[in-house]
Amino acid sequence: MNPCDGYDASCVFCKIANREKDAEILESDEELCCFPDVKPGAQHHYLVIPRMHLGNCLSLRKEHVPLVQRMMEMGKAVLQKSHVTDLTDIRLGFHVPPFSSVPHLHLHVLAPASQMDPRSLRMYGPQSVWFLSADQLLKKLNSQKDSCPAEAKPSDS
Ligand SMILES: [Zn+2]
Ligand SMILES: [Zn+2]
């Protein structure tokens, strides 16, 4: 398989997506893949990444909303495959820099959220300022204006 555009040879997640580094791929399609987190913070802890190297969640724009939604769907599908039945008791979200260990966009998928220990909660919990839930990110992206430079100019009426 040829590495696609946006491949960063120094990035461990790019290597996993290209099968150059071993990881247990739980689910994949032409756009995304999902594998277990090496340091699980909950009974189930998976990462969903785009195969293409994208930076962290702060570099995303409104046009990435469908991508984030597909990442969430794959995360939930993997949880269901792993027999997680209560999809209300999960955490889906992104680390905010400088707190992301790998600078390749990755969605953390954790379950059950109610059984995370204090250390995990600090990293992935609702109180963590370094963790943006997928819903929060979607809200943020959706509130962005479409980037049209003409609109940004003050109108001289
Ligand atoms: Zn990468
Ligand atoms: Zn992370």
- What secondary structure, in 3-state letters, does 91-127 show? EEEEECCCCCCCCCCCEEEEECHHHCCHHHHHHHCCC
27-46 pLDDT tens trace: 999 999 999 999 999 999 99
Q: Indicate which CATH number applies to the domain containing 17.
A: 3.30.428.10
Ligand nearest to the CA of 93: 2
7, part of any domain = no
Assess if residue 16 is contained within a domain: yes
The 3-state DSSP class for residue 69 equals: helix
Determine the structural domain holding residue 77 and report its residue range.
12-144
Residue 5 within any structural domain of the chain: no
Does the annotation count 44 as an active-site position? Answer: no
The ligand placed nearest to the CA atom of residue 95 is 2
Q: How many domains does the chain have?
A: 1
Q: What is the pTM of this model?
A: 0.88
Q: Is residue 136 part of a domain?
A: yes
Query: Residue 149: inside a domain, yes or no?
Result: no
Q: Is residue 126 part of a domain?
A: yes
Catalytic residue among 44, 53, 64, 106: 106
Residues 131-153: tens digit of each pLDDT: 999 999 999 999 998 665 544 44
Among candidate residues 132, 128, 118, the one with its CA nearest the CA of residue 42: 118
Are 141 and 68 within 8 A, CB to CB?
yes
